[in-house]
Amino acid sequence: MAKPRRRRIEAVPHAEAMVRQKREEGFLTGHHYGYHLGRCEAIFRQTPVHPQRMWNVKVLYVTSGKGYPYSPLDEAIIDGLKAVVREVAIFQLNPKVKTELASVAIREKPDLVLMLEGLNLDLQSVYRLRQAGIPAAIWFTDDPYYTDMTDKLAPHFDYVFTLELNCLDLYRRLGCREVHYLPFAADVRKFRPVHLDLVQRKEICFIGSAYWNRVRSFDELASYLSEKKIYICGLWWDRLKHYPLLKRNIDLNRWLSPEETALAYNGSRIVINMHRAHDDATYNFNSRNIPAASPNPRMFEIASCGTLQVADIRDDMSRFYKPGEEILTYSSVGELIEISEYFLTHDSERQEIALRALRRTLEEHTYPKRLAQMMQIVFG
């Protein structure tokens, strides 16, 4: 009887020490996350997200007419316009209801009609707009991946805005006189740092569809990611060869709202940003094979959440964020693993990079500031 008692007596101090250690680790972790969140909030308070200038003009904004996931873009652009122009009127494009855009525009008398994407648009309406002397602009959302369609639209507009640097020459060759490079931005009303319980936190996450270039990379990453707390969400991820290895951490065939996406970014120490390929014959309408040089909209949204971003390299990325200081880049799966492994265990370095990216985003890459760039181009 004495031996079991001695073992129990010896075990109690050890158990208590373990509890104390875990409690102290929890306090330190909570303090670390709280301190980072506080610094993020300070940056938000110190950095104006709206530009200084407003234009005394009226803009009629035409939605894409395609619903989700384009509708959050519509909302962000409308909010950005309201911050920089006198008046915003909205035309909800609905391809099933033949409401005459030109008649609405002629009645509203805007100084500019701005359209998003335009693939559901009746070009006769644009022709009537221009006949009435109302300038029309279009902002393409998916260049260069749909240029076999956008090349039919662009020549009908007074102003063409594209988020892809390598598409400028295409539209100019088509005869468009006013062609401008204007990437999207972060909707900081939705993409911003927020508090999350520790149980909701992951080490690594990726949000996006499983295009084939991503499938190949994540199959290479599968063994590494299977040992981490991860979250992957998007369409078609069951096409992975190693899907069973990652299945329990994949939110399959779900399209997150901006608010849900922001929570996923906030809950991750590292967010991977892997761009889609311009030459994927399965999903692209890019017969000219125009390469993509510009960052995707996710780059701004991830940065706006105060989370470390590790992205594959795009040629024009450094225009927006400084590699190594505000964003990390990789050129191979092996390098992505090395970067991830290092920064998962170096919290202060990881958070400093994320904070610099957050500040840069608020200074330059909000929708009000992006729309101010557009208004400057159109109205001077």
For residue 13, what pLDDT band results from cuts at 50, 70 and 90? low
> CB burial class (10 A; 0-12, 13-18, 19+) of residue 98?
exposed
* 291 in Cβ contact with 167 (< 8 Å): no
Question: How many domains does the chain divide into?
Answer: 2
Is residue 209 pLDDT above 70, yes or no?
yes
Is residue 301 pLDDT above 60, yes or no?
yes
pLDDT at 16 (0 to 100):
72
Distance separating alpha carbons of residues 103 and 200, to the nearest angstrom = 51
CB-CB neighbours of 208 under 10 Å: 19
pLDDT at 21 (0 to 100):
58
Is residue 1 pLDDT above 60, yes or no?
no
319: domain range? 198-364
Q: Which CATH number goes with the domain that contains 112?
A: 3.40.50.2300
Per residue in 303-314, pLDDT (tens digit) is 999 999 999 999
Both 92 and 163 in one domain: the answer is yes
pLDDT at 18 (0 to 100):
61
Average pLDDT over the chain reads 92
Residue 43 token pair? 């940056």
Angle at 152 between CA 150 and CA 154, to 5 degrees: 65
Per residue in 154-178, pLDDT (tens digit) is 999 999 999 999 999 999 999 999 9
- 32 belongs to a structural domain: no
- 173 belongs to a structural domain: yes
> Is this model's pTM higher than 0.75 or not?
yes
Both 164 and 208 in one domain: the answer is no
Q: Which CATH number goes with the domain that contains 258?
A: 3.40.50.2000
Both 219 and 330 in one domain: the answer is yes
Distance separating alpha carbons of residues 287 and 167, to the nearest angstrom = 13
How many residues are given for the chain?
380
- 275 belongs to a structural domain: yes
Q: Which has more pLDDT, 199 or 235?
A: 235
pLDDT at 20 (0 to 100):
63
Both 141 and 203 in one domain: the answer is no
Residue 61 token pair? 């904004």
Is residue 10 pLDDT above 70, yes or no?
no
Distance separating alpha carbons of residues 308 and 43, to the nearest angstrom = 16
Both 104 and 146 in one domain: the answer is yes
pLDDT at 200 (0 to 100):
84
pLDDT at 33 (0 to 100):
85
- 74 belongs to a structural domain: yes
* 76 in Cβ contact with 367 (< 8 Å): yes
Is residue 278 pLDDT above 80, yes or no?
yes
Both 319 and 331 in one domain: the answer is yes
Is residue 4 pLDDT above 80, yes or no?
no
pLDDT at 9 (0 to 100):
47
Per residue in 257-267, pLDDT (tens digit) is 999 999 999 99
pLDDT at 5 (0 to 100):
54
Residue 377 token pair? 């181009």
Is residue 41 pLDDT above 50, yes or no?
yes
Is residue 24 pLDDT above 70, yes or no?
no
Both 320 and 280 in one domain: the answer is yes
- 23 belongs to a structural domain: no
- 297 belongs to a structural domain: yes
Per residue in 240-252, pLDDT (tens digit) is 999 999 999 999 9
For residue 29, what pLDDT band results from cuts at 50, 70 and 90? low
* 355 in Cβ contact with 39 (< 8 Å): yes
Q: In the predicted model, what is the mean pLDDT of residues 33-43?
A: 93
- 192 belongs to a structural domain: no
Both 243 and 333 in one domain: the answer is yes
pLDDT at 277 (0 to 100):
96
Q: Which of 31-40, 115-124, 243-252 shows the lowest per-residue confidence on average (mean pLDDT)?
A: 31-40
For residue 6, what pLDDT band results from cuts at 50, 70 and 90? low
Both 223 and 360 in one domain: the answer is yes
- 157 belongs to a structural domain: yes
Any idea which residue has 């009435």 for tokens? 132
Q: Which of 135-139, 280-284, 336-340 shows the lowest per-residue confidence on average (mean pLDDT)?
A: 280-284
Both 166 and 290 in one domain: the answer is no
Both 159 and 239 in one domain: the answer is no
Distance separating alpha carbons of residues 269 and 246, to the nearest angstrom = 18
The secondary structure of the chain, three-state, reads CHHHHHHHHHHHHHHHHHHHHHHHHHHHHHHHHHHHHHHHHHHHHHCCCCCCCCEEEEEEEECCCCCCCCHHHHHHHHHHHHCCEEEEEEECCCCCCCCCHHHHHHHHCCCEEEEECCCCCCHHHHHHHHHCCCCEEEEECCCCCCHHHHHHHHHHCCEEEECCHHHHHHHHHCCCCEEEECCCCECCCCCCCCCCCHHHCEEEEEECCCCHHHHHHHHHHHHHHCCCCEEEEECCHHHCCCHHHHHHHEEECCCCCHHHHHHHHHCEEEEEECCCCCCCCCCCCCCCCCCCCCCCHHHHHHHCCCCEEEEECCCCHHHCCCECCCEEEECCHHHHHHHHHHHHCCHHHHHHHHHHHHHHHHHHCEHHHHHHHHHHHHHC
